[in-house]
Structure 1
């Protein structure tokens, strides 16, 4: 890559790796943004940049270009690639220096993991009490309990559609990073640890790792000896 180029790394990886890539890029006159490794060349200038830009929004967000992009790295480098990022997402934020994008993605994954426990437990309760799942989702999804997960993945669960928007095996990789980073910071996050264990239980089922994260319902059904 020529000096003045920008590396845009859109994978989810350890924040320490994002910092390592950034430092190496700086030594070679390149910039980087945290994170799917995509390289976009620019006209030569004094140095190159590396940006970390993890994304959130699932399969629908990717198709409709409504992903949330959380970027870490040099603010000027992010400004230069902003037109490209806007082709993929609407909510684009500079979170800080190298590694900040990855840390923000961990916040995102922790919230999704723990929220999914609430989603599947709530729907399991609704099922066991005899409620219509679609009606229950419509009722609570518009109120304080509403979330992206209940409104988007809840209907899939009701239809027994566990096809992946984001695969369990990939999600477990992210949760492993979140657990490692939490431990490094001296944080005890029992909800995250529980979610990780439950998703491991999903992965242990036949083809479980290739199912979507909404397949967490299968682990809770097995735990309660419920066969839908």
Structure 2
């Protein structure tokens, strides 16, 4: 419990995760590209690391929660837009845990570069949305050295309800891609069902109640359908991030020769969300694209 945890990337997921670590008694040093989240962390009891390198210098282990592969490469290894990357503040024997969702091959490449510096990298993407981050009930999928995971498990247990070792470096990201394939399928499937039911004149709440307890029961019906019926798409997980994750999955599918017909369709629907300025809506907001295709809105607003 005496370890200091560094946290780089205090967004919709990262900030509540960092707060949970403070609540659990850890000293947390944070950094975010924009100042407001870092200020909120400091007000909560954390410290401002000043830069990614500054966070690493003051920490025993560094956690990341960033948007995409280029962001992780830049923040960890440096580049034109990052003069103080994490790697400059790391010491031999430290561990970096990346909770971002990125390409499995990029995760492997970063792990190899850090290993040359005597630093261990765990790719540990997360699932559960903002509510899971706030409540500390995330699912954490870990790739990398299992002994390194065991050393950091107490930290991960604060943020996640399930922490699963999935294999060597990159395996956590592969598992997350599988997760996002299924999540997108649920979101699109429930959206399609609700739009169909609305077009047919059925009571949407009754439809959800009826099918939730049977073979169609799923996380989306339980956790998102009530808001979808009311046209409420406040973000728990941004649609633009879902789009990005599906791009990672389809790119990996192409690389590994794996057929992904359903995922390609979901990818195009989320692309439509982004192109229609809905990228900051919740990923359940894909229902709006199907409503656009149907030519009418079936949700009941301000119910």
- The normalised TM-score by structure 2 is 0.67
Residue 132 of structure 1 and its aligned partner are, at CA, apart by 2.1
CA distance in 1, matches of 2:127, 2:114: 25
Equivalent residue number for residue 288 of structure 2: 218
Equivalent residue number for residue 33 of structure 1: 122
Alignment match of 1:147 (pick from 218, 222, 245): 218
Alignment of 1:62 onto 2:151: no
CA distance in 2, matches of 1:70, 1:77: 14
Within 5 Å, give how 1:165-184 maps onto structure 2. 165-184=236-255
Residue 32 of structure 1 aligns to a residue in which SS?
strand
Equivalent residue number for residue 22 of structure 1: 111
Residue 69 of structure 1 aligns to a residue in which SS?
strand
CA distance in 2, matches of 1:22, 1:202: 33
Q: Which runs of 4+ in 1 moved over 4 A?
A: none
Residue 125 of structure 1 and its aligned partner are, at CA, apart by 1.9
Residue 59 of structure 1 and its aligned partner are, at CA, apart by 1.2
CA distance in 2, matches of 1:77, 1:9: 13
Residue 144 of structure 1 and its aligned partner are, at CA, apart by 1.1
Q: Deviations over 1:44-102 (max 9, x none)?
A: xxxxxxxxx00000111111111000000000000010000011111110000000000
CA distance in 2, matches of 1:59, 1:159: 20
Residue 124 of structure 1 and its aligned partner are, at CA, apart by 1.3
Within 5 Å, give how 1:110-121 maps onto structure 2. 110-121=181-192
Q: Deviations over 1:146-192 (max 9, x none)?
A: 11011111111011101111111111111111111000011221101
CA distance in 1, matches of 2:94, 2:209: 48
CA distance in 1, matches of 2:218, 2:295: 27
Aligned pairs, number: 209
Greater relative contact order (Cα 8 A, min sep 6): structure 1 or 2?
1
Equivalent residue number for residue 23 of structure 2: none
- Which consecutive unaligned segments of at least 5 residues does structure 2 have? 1-89, 299-303
Within 5 Å, give how 1:77-88 maps onto structure 2. 77-88=148-159
RMSD over aligned CA atoms reads 1.1
